[in-house]
Structure 1
Amino acid sequence: MAGKFKASIRIKTAEILLAFLVVFSGVLLGFSGGGFVVNFNKVGFSVISLIQKGSSSAISAVTGIVTSIRDIAVLQKEYKELSEKLKDYEFMQRNNVEIRKENERLREQLQFASEIEYKNIPAQIIGRDPDNLYSGITINKGARSGIKKGFPVIAIQSGNVGIVGKVVTAGLDTSLVMPVYDTKCNISARIQNTRDIGIVSGNGSYGSPLNLQYIRKRVFDSLNHGDIVVTSGENGNYVKDVPIGRISKIKILDYDSSLSIELEPVIDFLRLENVLVVDQKNLNDKPPLAKN
């Protein structure tokens, strides 16, 4: 039995060795024929191609991201520059509009100033008295410009001429004007269409109506809302026939022989910027401006 077992092992070993030799011979034949070499080349090329393709795609993606970030930064910079230019342009446009409006106002004032019979000094409002409901108006001209206490002050606003008040203090380079709405201001006035005379006084505030007193009741039927009341020119305190206000309310009081009349001022004091101070003792020597 032992001899048979040993013989069987020798036979199997010989068969295994024979099979190995056959396979090894085939491999050698394959290598010598170039078949395996070609296959390995193809496999290596495919692997390298895939690696190169992946690397190229990754590099392209990174390059695209970097380029996009740079483009965004450039666009943001250009947007900021354009925004600043737009702000500058809008600012210039607003300034141009303001300059044109200011030129129109000044030309209107100069044209009017040249047509006034008396000498006048143009001035600009530079302050208002905050302690007395804006009852004091400060202008940028004074004694150096020929202004004296008591000079009447007028203005032209949106094509309308109106009385502003009178100078109560004249400094060297500035003056204080008491406006018509001041309670201490009293102006001899006439109703333009009936020529009835009375006194206009203020109520202490630019937002309150003016009062016209001493107009007889019998002229009630001759009066209308919107009638213009002008300076009478009496006593030499104010230039004659300068509009003061328009009649806004008329009341008949049983206990009074005169009408109670309220006026809306011709001048809008909150929008008032420039005025003319009139010297009634000297005639105007300025030639009229040529009209376009």
Structure 2
Amino acid sequence: MYAIAYGVRYAEAMSAAKQPIPSVWTRRPRQKERPALTQDRIVSEAVKLLDEEGLEALSMRSLGTRLGVGATSLYRHVANKDELIELVVDEVYGELDVPSADRPADWPAAVTRSAHSLRAAILRHPWIASVLGQVGLVELGPNVMRQSERLLALFHTAGFAPGEADQAMSTVMAYVIGMSTSEAAYLSLLARSGQTEQEWAESLRPAAEQVLQDHPRLRDEHLARGYDDPRRVREENFAYGLERVLDGLRSRLESSG
């Protein structure tokens, strides 16, 4: 009882003196501190911005707003927008799945898996299609270098000689990036239209069927393939082309062996 009475008299005295009571329970809690601004945090947020709003929405000012800092704070970690693009491209390359191949017979499956992984990354981040190979020294990024080293190892395992192994790898990469870039542009158009892929295909079907009447070869191919599931068609087209590229590389190995 004495402790309670003393506490009450102490609080009354402090109140009369207009002084705050020195107790942890009466202090106003501090505002939650923001995470420290780092290059990794800047790049991560930039990828999110690009995925949500596209390349045209990216600026140092818009990124700073999302991070709750001024644009000048970003320049302490990233020199300019071009450098930021290099960093986000390298960040996306870090998502790739490039398996190893211990035997020469394993390389086609490993390259196929790698190619599908790159395609999936481009379709997850469609903005990347327009900046691949366009800025600075993006090829020297740590993730790009690490993944390229792993992919090149597959072509060495296959039996390609030094020099030609890089050409074989570049051929596969060119196919994947070319096909995926077209897909990414198409899917971005769909996103802006607000339609699903199936809805878009259905809306075009009457006009397409009418036009195809005057082009029998195109009409026959259209009927032979069937276009009930546009996504499936895209995946089949990609897989078919990739397999034909690998067929050519297999033939090259056989002829040079």
For normalisation by structure 1, the TM-score amounts to 0.22
Name the structure with the higher strand share: 1
Name the structure with the higher helix share: 2
Q: Which has the larger radius of gyration?
A: 1
For normalisation by structure 2, the TM-score amounts to 0.24
